Amino acid sequence: MRFSKMLIPTLKETPADAEAVSHILMLRAGYVRQLTAGLYIYLPLGLRVIEKISKILREEMNAIGAQEITMPVLHPSEVWQQTGRWYEIGEEMFRLKDRGSRDMCLGMTHEEIIAWLAAREIRSYRELPQIWYQIQIKLRDEARPKSGVIRTREFLMKDSYSLDADEKGLERSYQLHAEAYHKIFSRCGLKFYMVESDPGMMGGATAHEFMAPSPAGEDEFTMCDGCGYAANIELALSIPKEVEAKNWILEEVYTPEKRTVQEVSDFLQLDPEYFIKSILLISDKDPVLALVRGDQELHEKKLNRIIGKHRQAHKEEVKEILGVEAGFIGPMGHRLKIIADACLKEGVYVSGANKPHYHAKGIRPGKEFTAEWNDIHVVKEGDSCPKCNAPLRVERAIEVGNIFMLGTKYSIPMRAFYLDKNGQERPIIMGSYGIGPARIAAAAIEQNNDRDGIIWPKSIAPFDVELLPLNIRDSKTVEIAEKIYKGLTEEGIEVLMDDRDERAGVKFKDADLIGIPTQIIIGEKNLKEGLIEIKDRKTKEAVKVGFREVVEKILQSQIQAETGRAYLKS
Q: Is 380 helix (H, G, I), strand (E, B) or coil?
A: coil
Neighbour count for residue 179 (Cβ, 10 Å)? 13
Q: Could you say whether residue 134 binds ligand ATP (CB under 6 A)?
A: no
Of 391-430, which residues contact ligand ATP (CB under 6 A)?
399-402
CB of 449 vs ligand ATP, minimal distance in Å: 20
Give, in order, the Cα–Cα distances in Å from 176 to each of 21, 64, 180, 210, 463.
33, 7, 6, 15, 31
> Beta partners for 402?
209, 434
Question: Which class for 508: exposed (0-12), middle (13-18), buried (19 or more C-beta within 10 A)?
Answer: middle
* One of 59, 142, 171, 524 touching ligand ATP (CB under 6 A): 142
Show the site string, 439-468: x = touches ligand ATP by CB under 6 A, - = not. Answer: x-----------------------------
**Cβ nearer to ligand ATP, comparing 109 with 130:** 109
Of 45, 98, 133, 62, residue with least CA distance to 433: 133
Q: How far is CA 145 from the centre of its chain?
A: 14
Of 156-175, which residues contact ligand ATP (CB under 6 A)?
157
Q: Could you say whether residue 434 binds ligand ATP (CB under 6 A)?
A: yes
**Cβ nearer to ligand ATP, comparing 154 with 317:** 154
CB of 155 vs ligand ATP, minimal distance in Å: 4
Q: What is the DSSP letter of 537?
A: T
Of 375, 432, 58, 456, residue with least CA distance to 209: 432
**Cβ nearer to ligand ATP, comparing 57 with 79:** 57
Q: Could you say whether residue 109 binds ligand ATP (CB under 6 A)?
A: yes
CB of 564 vs ligand ATP, minimal distance in Å: 20
End-to-end CA distance of the chain: 25
**Cβ nearer to ligand ATP, comparing 137 with 390:** 137
Backbone angles phi, psi at 85, to 5 degrees: -70, -20
**Rounded CA separation 286/336 (Å):** 8
Q: Are 354 and 328 in contact (CB under 8 A)?
A: yes
CB of 399 vs ligand ATP, minimal distance in Å: 5
**Rounded CA separation 168/541 (Å):** 52
CB of 466 vs ligand ATP, minimal distance in Å: 28
* One of 438, 441, 497, 521 touching ligand ATP (CB under 6 A): 438
Stretch that binds ligand ATP, among 39-47, 67-75, 376-384, 434-442 (CB under 6 A): 434-442
Q: What residue type is assigned to position 545 of the chain?
A: V
**Cβ nearer to ligand ATP, comparing 155 with 174:** 155
* One of 140, 293, 458, 535 touching ligand ATP (CB under 6 A): 140
Q: Could you say whether residue 151 binds ligand ATP (CB under 6 A)?
A: yes
CB of 404 vs ligand ATP, minimal distance in Å: 7
Q: From edge to edge, which strands make up the β-sheet containing 349-352?
A: 251-254, 358-363, 349-352
Q: Which residues bind ligand ATP (CB under 6 A)?
A: 109, 140, 142, 151-152, 155, 157, 399-402, 434-436, 438-439
